[in-house]
Structure 1
Amino acid sequence: MNALDVLRERGFVYQVSDEEGLRQAFEGQVTAYCGYDPTDDSLTVGNLLTIMLLAHLQRLGHRPIALVGGGTGMIGDPSDKLAARPLLSVAQIDANVANFKRQLARYLDFEGGRALLVNNADWLRPLGLIEFLRDIGRHFSINAMLDLEFVRTRLASQAGLTYLEFSYILLQAYDYLELYRRYGCTLQVGGSDQWANILAGADLIRRLEGGRAYALVTPLITTASGRKLSKSEGTAVYLDPRKTSPYEYYQFWINTEDADVERYLALYTFLPMEEVRRLGRLQGAELRHAKEVLAWEATALTHGPAAADRAREASRAVFRGEAGPLDAVPAVPVPRDEIAAGIPLVDLLVRAGLVESKRMARPRIQQGAVTVNQERVTDDRLVVDERFLKDGGILVGMGKRFRRVVAA
């Protein structure tokens, strides 16, 4: 099956610049890239769609390039932002790049050049301004750039748009040109908000090199209820276990809405489509099994099979009462003498990070949304002390989120 058909079957394809041309290119080996700006110290689930796309291409015999933006990260892509990103120091950006490299290696095989990890700082940081404006800037029309949706949105906003951000599209196009020249890269992939930027790069390659280059963008992934996939309870879900633990990562996936299970199995695992469709047909109580498969497969890819096993066992211990490693649940250390003296439950919920304030905690307790050691609590005046300790900890939960308060 042609790679384009595989990607479309699994749900990766939203728009392609030249479908027949790309289909023909996929008959041979294609070098494809996606860029990741290191404006944070970890990639998130929001980046995972294009990472999985590159990983599928590699499994189909093509060569992916993961481009980390040590150069463009000094600006930050404004395409889907309502205000300018905070500027990071070069040292911060380089540290973030190092983290990205470790995370991407969980999905892509970089051995023997089968995949490449490239940093655009190699060509952007030494780039001379006059040379860049003369050789690259003259190929871009201000009229066309002003018509871009993100530009019109930002110009109409109070925040406005800086020249620094306005120039981002030129730098991204130049990246595509450099990757074409250095590695023969002829396909750039990205989210649907990147469509104009990618087309600009393909056009630059045509103008300067006379080459054919392609654009492929993925759909915006939201849940069936319209929530952005990369968020959980309003908080970003990171690929770095120091920011989102394997247990929390597993819980993010197992809490997938019923209507999304088959779609996410196709996008975020390597399971064959026959198995994806079989799991997607499950109904009622059996659908829980499909969600467990999704959660385990996704967690094993990001954190390894052993971490996925522990997360699954902990999840079953918390939600089913089975024996399991509760120490996999994120822990909050509290001095033992404080526990002995007694801590109001409303204070404990705040300290555990399950709620922002005591004022917000009280109605949640009264509504029955809070549990202590898996027992529902409705008394907002409850004081938690050492009587609640089990195996050195107290399991506190709100909704589907749990923390283990550990006596320090």
Structure 2
Amino acid sequence: MGKTESGAIWLDGSMLKPYDYWQYFRNVDDQDVSSFLRLFTDLPISEIKKLESLQDQEINEAKKILATEITKICHGKEEAERVKSAAVATFENADSSLLHEYALNKKQVINGIALIDLLCATKLESSKNAAKRLIQAKGCKINDNIVFNVDYIISYKDFTSKSFIKLSAGKKRHIKCCIEGADTIH
């Protein structure tokens, strides 16, 4: 939880997407999981004690439960399950149908859109300078392939046989960029 508005954990879904809310709690420090389960969830103490006994990689299961339970309270059960499924799809390389979507019109794709501009438009990055730094640090991916060129232009060739691309900023921020009204490209 940061000092700036961009680092705040907002309860309002219009200020912080439920997916990002879930991700925040999924990524808390291991040492905070126990106290957060006790403070922020309605889980029975017996279940919390079982989760507290998890060690090493198993603690990640407790973090997923923590994130889902907290998201249920703030955004509802259905939304919590949806964002959990989206996270699993994103990080376990499954179907990307649950990722947040950003619509591109065909004209943008035909003309080409600068990757830096798309990173800003999708709010994966807050500025063009931040987008450039991300690319230079090899933290930007299109369809899980690292982009090395800060002047990269996204065009139809990036969409392969699908009507969307998966755009990633770092390991934890992803968005599905779709061409409006397109089922497939070819």
Q: How far is 1:354 from its partner? A: 1.9
Q: How far is 1:324 from its partner? A: 5.3
Matched, 1:394 2:175: no
> Residues 337-357 of structure 1, C-alpha deviation per residue, up to 9 Å, x if partnerless?
112222121121111112232
Match of 1:283 among 55, 67, 81: 55
Match of 1:375 among 126, 129, 145: 145
What secondary structure does 2:84 align onto? helix
The 8 Å contact of residues 96 and 176 in structure 2, kept in 1 or not, is answered as no
| Residues 1:391 and 1:250: Cα distance change in structure 2 (over 3 Å) | farther
Q: What TM-score, normalized to structure 1?
A: 0.40
| Residues 1:231 and 1:266: Cα distance change in structure 2 (over 3 Å) | farther
Q: How far is 1:393 from its partner? A: 2.7
- Write out aligned runs for 1:4-403 (5 A): 227-228=1-2, 234-323=6-95, 325-327=97-99, 329=100, 331-389=101-159, 391-399=162-170, 400-403=172-175
| Residues 1:235 and 1:393: Cα distance change in structure 2 (over 3 Å) | farther
Equivalent residue pairs, number: 178
Corresponding residue for residue 184 of structure 2 = none
**Partner Cα distance (1:313, 1:307) in 2:** 10
Cα RMSD between the aligned structures? 2.4
| Residues 1:375 and 1:264: Cα distance change in structure 2 (over 3 Å) | farther
Greater Cα radius of gyration, structure 1 or 2: 1
**Partner Cα distance (2:126, 2:68) in 1:** 30
Q: How far is 1:246 from its partner? A: 2.3
| Residues 1:260 and 1:391: Cα distance change in structure 2 (over 3 Å) | farther
What secondary structure does 1:301 align onto? helix
> Residues 351-387 of structure 1, C-alpha deviation per residue, up to 9 Å, x if partnerless?
1112232222222112122222233323323221123
The 8 Å contact of residues 250 and 299 in structure 1, kept in 2 or not, is answered as yes
AA aligned to 1:381 is D
**Partner Cα distance (1:245, 1:387) in 2:** 30
Corresponding residue for residue 141 of structure 1 = none
The 8 Å contact of residues 369 and 398 in structure 1, kept in 2 or not, is answered as yes
What secondary structure does 1:271 align onto? coil
AA aligned to 1:253 is F
| Residues 1:301 and 1:337: Cα distance change in structure 2 (over 3 Å) | same
Gaps of 5+ in 1: 1-226
| Residues 1:277 and 1:323: Cα distance change in structure 2 (over 3 Å) | same
Q: How far is 1:310 from its partner? A: 1.3
| Residues 1:392 and 1:252: Cα distance change in structure 2 (over 3 Å) | farther
**Partner Cα distance (1:237, 1:393) in 2:** 30
RCO greater where, 1 or 2, for CA within 8 Å and sep 6 or more? 2
Q: What TM-score, normalized to structure 2?
A: 0.82
